[in-house]
Amino acid sequence: MSFDTLAPYYRYLEFVLAGGILQRCRTSYLVEAAECRRALLLGEGPGRFLVELMRTNPSVEVICVERSPAMIEAARRQLGGPDRRRVRFEQVDVRTWQAPVGVFDLVVTNFFLDCFRREELQSLVMKVAASARPDARWLLADFREPETGWRRWRARMVLKLMYGCFRWATGLSAARLTPPDGFLENAGFRLAGRRLANFGLAHSDLWRRDAS
């Protein structure tokens, strides 16, 4: 799975297909990251959330785990000189990434968890959760299927087309969407907020882990 071929066009492709919806989803709960000190960003891509995080939190230190070197280069170009010193990029497949234990008070997965098959996603969530502190926050933006009605059928058609295109273009392992909610709950997180967009096709989540 590699997004190298899409990296030069990703931002323009996103704008054409979704306008500003995905970026609004990414930053919907950005205020929750204002006091965080160590952040883990997975599959950050060309750095649109990263730039906003650095702008709103002048002291956060960030590790970005991203497999695509082209995406990493695109993200680096978005950062100013001082901000670059606060960000470390790790070019690695997150499935084989050696995660530290209990160090991050913020985890961010924007339009990333939908890339994995169910069994991969379960293993990934548990590994990332182990790297988070007892009081960590997990910001998540992704696609979803509404529960009923025409919105559900619309979402199913869009997701089927999207997965077909991305599997062809990037070698994506997943063929369908797996909601991560149950895995996050099993890892000790609880859903503290959810905002829907685009008739329920996309959502922004705030998950919290209580330190008690």
Q: Which domain CATH number covers 115?
A: 3.40.50.150
> What is the pTM assigned to this prediction?
0.91
Asked if residue 200 belongs to a domain, the reply is: yes
Asked if residue 158 belongs to a domain, the reply is: yes
Residue 56 pLDDT exceeds 60: yes
Rounded Cα–Cα distance for residues 183 and 11 (Å): 30
SS3 102: coil
Residue 11 has a pLDDT of: 64
Nearest to 115 by CA among 143, 137, 74: 143
Residue 125 has a pLDDT of: 97
Asked if residue 140 belongs to a domain, the reply is: yes
Radius of gyration of the chain (CA): 16
Rounded Cα–Cα distance for residues 193 and 61 (Å): 25
Question: Which alpha helices (H) appear in 135-175, and where do they start and end?
Answer: 149-170
Asked if residue 180 belongs to a domain, the reply is: yes
Cα within 13 Å of Cα(9), Cβ side: 6
Higher pLDDT, 173 or 36: 36
Find the domain containing 162 and state its range.
Answer: 7-209
Q: Region 191-199: what's the mean pLDDT?
A: 96
**Facing residues of 38 across strands?**
61
User: Tokens 């988070």 correspond to what residue?
Assistant: 132
Using the CB atoms, write b or e for 97-126: b if 16+ within 10 Å.
bebeeeebbbbbbbbbbbbbeeebbbebbe
pLDDT digits (tens, 9 = 90+) for 60-112: 999 999 999 999 999 999 898 888 899 999 999 999 999 999 999 999 999 99
User: Could you tell me the two tokens for 15?
Assistant: 């704008």
Asked if residue 90 belongs to a domain, the reply is: yes
Rounded Cα–Cα distance for residues 149 and 163 (Å): 22
Overall number of domains in the chain? 1
Q: How confident is the model at residue 8 (pLDDT cuts 50, 70, 90)?
A: low
Asked if residue 1 belongs to a domain, the reply is: no
Q: How confident is the model at residue 171 (pLDDT cuts 50, 70, 90)?
A: confident
